[in-house]
Amino acid sequence: MSEIKKVNLPYQASLLSFFSAVRDLPYPALLDSNHQHFPDTNFDILVANPLARIHPVANGQPISWYTKPFYSLSATHNPMALMNELMSLICQEAWAKSAPKDLPFVGGLLGYYGYESGHFVEQLPDTVEHDVQLDTLSVGLYSWAVITCHKKKTTHLITSPWCPSEEVADLINRFTSACDDVLVKHDLNEARPFRLEAPFSSNMTEAEYAQKFCKVQDYIQSGDCYQVNLAQRFSTRYQGDTFTAYHRLREACPTPFSAYMELSATQSILSHSPERFLLCDQGRVESKPIKGTVARGATAEEDKANADWLQTSEKDRAENLMIVDLLRNDLGRTCLTGSIKVPKLFALESYANVHHLVSTVEGRIDQADQAIRVFHQSFPGGSITGAPKIRSMEIIDELEPHVRSAYCGAIVYFSANGQMDSSITIRTLVADHGNLHCWAGGGLVADSKCQQEYQETFTKVGKLTHTLEQDFLK
């Protein structure tokens, strides 16, 4: 019987050099935990060369096969519905049912969902300017993965029965020839130059932000909503290789849900997210929404004072609780009745530039193919929309001038063995035909202060923009 196979490779503290070894293959993607800074993260995952890709098309079935199709799928135009159907078929395979559950990914779907993928779930307005050319979503069907388990200090090539023997041999040759060590900054820049052509600039002035802030307050006071996540976009032009920029940001802004995805020669996603969206681990579903942010202090005393203030801030705790309630409702749509719990509320997590309040919401499912349905029924994450979700998204569409694209969507995998993990794509940059965009926002509630919320957006994104400007603005 065909089954999952594991090939031992030298342990890799990071998979950056292995990523370089497969960059010439279509749609390479690296899920990069930056584990040394975050003991709760464990796995790095590298994939490339998908068998098929799911992406929206104007008419027809939203899947492009690069090999002979494995399955006969319905004629739906909705990519999320097609992926639900595809994962149901995959999880019924005998090899998928017998696949080890301790591996995060044994073949299956992996990719990104842009924020506007919410239009495939709900009827929503669409009045923003679509000036970013990335697909609304792009998810590959992958037959192999390199997986590093940092706790065990192991690296394996995992191949599914879909992966032909000649491809396995080619991959082993690529990875055994690759350098074990992470490329140092100097060598990386020498080999793959990158530069910004101008500083980042926002798509709204401070006065325009204030007008939008007041509009949100009007909606809150009139009872339309309790919270709205209002974001501004920062953009510039660039030249060169965005993998160099990703490598530098990875050093400057270590996060547990970093990811680098190449979509074409001129399009890529550089994500440095601190926030898990949804995890499914052997039937246990977990979400860790972030709501509540304060800057790190310049001294140890100031840093502790800032953290203490955040943990006792009534506004931030109320904001966090709103999203916890929203997620409990979202997970309740698909998780087993009575399984929803909140084991952690208002926990403090600290990163290079900010402290966050993070809560944990849990539930349970009993079928492998339900993981993708939980994800779709909960998308997009409530921490980056507001509450109630649909009305908040309508207000975001009204007030934000441009498409969010990958920002506030998710990077996710759905494995044939039922495992799933995903991040909320905040602290994320999108490279699109010479344009480089990043976004930052915050949840506005009734007692929010305009200047404080405006400054918070710069606090959140500043480490990314300042690092790139200092190192690559010539």
Long-range contacts of residues 127-131, Cβ cutoff 8 Å, at least 24 apart? 127/397, 127/398, 128/397, 128/400, 128/401, 128/402, 128/403, 128/404, 129/401, 129/402, 129/403, 130/403, 131/402, 131/403
Give 235's strand partners: 201, 437
The CA-CA-CA angle for residues 194, 267, 352, to 5°, reads 60
What pLDDT is stored for residue 190 in this prediction? 55
What pLDDT is stored for residue 318 in this prediction? 86
Positive or negative: CA dihedral 330, 289, 387, 319: positive
Report the b/e string of 383-403 with b at 16+ CB within 10 A.
bbbbbbbbbbbbbbbebbebb
What pLDDT is stored for residue 351 in this prediction? 84
What pLDDT is stored for residue 228 in this prediction? 96
Say which of 291, 389, 460, 463 is annotated catalytic: 291
What pLDDT is stored for residue 451 in this prediction? 97
The C-alpha atoms of residue 193 and residue 243 are separated, in whole angstroms, by: 9
Q: Quick check: is 262 catalytic?
A: no
Peptide bond into 125 cis (omega under 30): no
The pair phi, psi for residue 403, each rounded to 5°, is: -60, 140
What is the maximum alpha-carbon separation in the chain?
65
What pLDDT is stored for residue 191 in this prediction? 66
Environment class of 265 (CB within 10 Å of its CB; exposed 0-12, middle 13-18, buried 19+): exposed
What pLDDT is stored for residue 60 in this prediction? 87
Residues 6 or more apart whose CB falls under 8 angstroms from that of 264 comprise: none
What pLDDT is stored for residue 471 in this prediction? 96
Residue pointed to by tokens 């200047």 = 451
Say which of 116, 262, 275, 456 is annotated catalytic: 275
Per-residue pLDDT tens over the stretch 21-47: 999 999 999 999 977 777 668 899 999
Per-residue pLDDT tens over the stretch 209-237: 999 999 999 999 999 999 999 999 999 99
pLDDT in tens, the chain (474 residues): 479 999 999 999 999 999 999 999 999 999 999 777 776 688 999 999 999 999 999 888 999 999 999 999 999 999 999 999 999 999 999 999 999 999 999 999 999 999 999 999 999 999 999 999 999 999 999 999 999 999 999 999 999 999 999 999 999 999 999 864 444 444 455 568 999 999 999 999 999 999 999 999 999 999 999 999 999 999 999 999 999 999 999 999 999 999 999 999 999 999 999 999 999 999 999 999 888 888 899 899 999 999 999 999 988 898 889 889 999 999 999 999 999 999 999 999 888 788 989 999 999 999 988 999 999 999 999 989 999 999 999 999 999 999 999 999 999 999 999 999 999 999 999 999 999 999 999 999 999 999 999 999 999 999 999 999 999 997
What pLDDT is stored for residue 35 in this prediction? 73
The C-alpha atoms of residue 32 and residue 273 are separated, in whole angstroms, by: 10
Beta strands in 172-252 (DSSP E): 194-196, 201-202, 227-240
Q: Quick check: is 469 catalytic?
A: no
Hey, is 110 helix, strand or coil?
strand
pTM of structure: 0.94
The C-alpha atoms of residue 252 and residue 271 are separated, in whole angstroms, by: 13
What pLDDT is stored for residue 180 in this prediction? 44
Domains of the chain: 5-472 (3.60.120.10)
